[in-house]
Structure 1
């Protein structure tokens, strides 16, 4: 019976969310559990409406007034497949690492500006985390370099000799505020929310997310995520 498969998937989700939130079955119904979990977990926020619809369907196909509960309807096969996929996503959402794990070319504050310019030409990179005394100092971008060039021309000409990454980074009007660090176990859904402009708020969207082991800026860089990276969701994500 498809109902049995549906209920197995539903119970996986229900048990998992109650375990996350430490909520037993006598205190709240499934919809309330979803609402509470959605406040803390981005993957639940993403699918909250779907979860509640599946909860309503569960109530429609199970007659709870008898013991043991009696199944009184069978959901369509495509509905069963949908809740099974959702159960897999809720219990094991795609993580930013290793999904976006990659070598990140980082710069030091005192590096000559010729170094990132060479990397831009050779590798077509446009964003470079900059560190000063082992701590994150900002993100050198092609926009920042262009602003430095424009200011230099306005002030009489461009001089590359002796110019450091730090000199150019001072032309970043955002001063590193458009970058956040996340831990390696953050989810794809966390990244989507971070890189999505806040609704109703006038603030600049992030330019990049940097991945480290626990989300601290003094740890080794494990990867970088840009808005363009999120254009193509991983397999199984809708």
Structure 2
């Protein structure tokens, strides 16, 4: 029966959220559990309305006033498939690593500017995390380099051979504040939220997320995420 599959997926979600919150079945209804989980987990926030709709549908399908509870309706197959997909995403949300694992070419502020220029030509990269020792100094972008070039031309000439990454990095008006570090355990939904400025805030949106083991800037870079990478949710969910 479709209803049995629906109830199985619903119970998987309910059990998982209660485990996350350490709440047993004797406390709180499903909608309240969703609200509590949404305060802590981005994937639940993303689908909170859908989860509550499925909760209401579950109550329409199951007659709880009798014991044992009796199924009194059968959901459409596409509804069953939808809750099964959602259960998979809620229980096993896609992680930024290894999804966005890639080589990240790292610079030191004292490196010659010719180094990233060569990488731009060879690899067509446009963003390079720059460090001062183990400390993050900013994101060198093709925009920074273009502004450095324009200012150099306006003030007497371009000395690429003598220029350093720090020279071009000074043209980042945000001073590296448009970059955040995330741990490899972060979910796709965590990343999507970080790229979305909070309501009522006038802060600039992030340009990139850098993935490290635990989200610290002094760790090896495991990958990089840009807003373009997150245009479409995984698993065909919206």
TMscore range, shorter length: over 0.9
* 1:209 is the counterpart of 2:209: yes
Question: CA–CA distance in 2 between the matches of 1:229 and 1:163?
Answer: 32
The aligned residue for residue 184 of structure 1 is 184
Looking at structure 2, the residues matched to 52 and 24 of structure 1 have their Cα atoms a distance apart, in angstroms, of 18
Q: Which residue of 2 aligns with 1:49?
A: 49
Aligned partners of 2:78, 2:161: CA distance in 1, in Å? 65
Q: Cα deviation per residue 1:84-108 (whole Å; 9 max; x = unaligned)?
A: 1100010001110000000001111
Q: Which residue in 1 is equivalent to 2:126?
A: 126
Distance 2:195 2:163 in 1: 32
Cα RMSD (Å) of the superposition?
1.2
The CA distance in 2 between the partners of 1:2 and 1:207, in whole Å, is 44
Deviations 1:98-151 (A, max 9, x none): 000000011111110000011111111100001111221110001111121122
C-alpha distance 86-140 of structure 1, shift in aligned 2 (>3 A): same
What secondary structure is seen at the aligned counterpart in 1 of 2:93? coil
Q: Secondary structure at the match of 1:193?
A: helix
Q: Secondary structure at the match of 2:111?
A: coil
| SS of residue in 1 equivalent to 2:103 | coil
Q: Tell me which residue corresponds to 1:230.
A: 230
**Where does residue 15 of structure 1 map in the other structure?**
15
Looking at structure 2, the residues matched to 156 and 129 of structure 1 have their Cα atoms a distance apart, in angstroms, of 29
Normalising by the residue count of structure 1, what TM-score does the alignment of the two structures yield? 0.96
- The aligned runs of 1:26-41 (5 Å cut-off) are 26-41=26-41
Q: Residue 145 of structure 2 corresponds to which residue in structure 1? A: 145
Equivalence for 2:74: 74
The answer for the alignment partner of 1:116 in structure 2 is 116
What SS class does the counterpart of residue 140 from structure 2 fall into? Answer: strand
The reply to whether residue 59 of structure 1 matches residue 53 of structure 2 is no
1:150-196 Cα deviation digits (max 9, x unpaired):
22222222222321111211221101000000010111111111112
Deviates more, 1:89-98 or 1:129-138: 129-138
1:219 to partner: Cα distance: 0.5
Instruction: Give the alignment's TM-score, normalised by structure 2.
Output: 0.96
The question of whether the paired residues in 1 share the 8 Å contact of 2:181 and 2:211 is answered with: yes
* Alignment correspondent of 2:106: 106
How many angstroms does 1:197 deviate by? 3.8
Count of residues in correspondence between the two structures: 238
- Secondary structure of 2:202's counterpart equals coil
The corresponding residue for 1:87 is 87
> What 5-or-longer segments of structure 2 have no aligned partner?
none
Aligned equivalents of 1:44, 1:194: Cα separation in 2: 15
Name stretches of at least 5 consecutive residues in structure 1 with no aligned partner.
none
Please give the alpha-carbon distance, in whole angstroms, between the structure 2 residues aligned to 1:27 and 1:195: 35
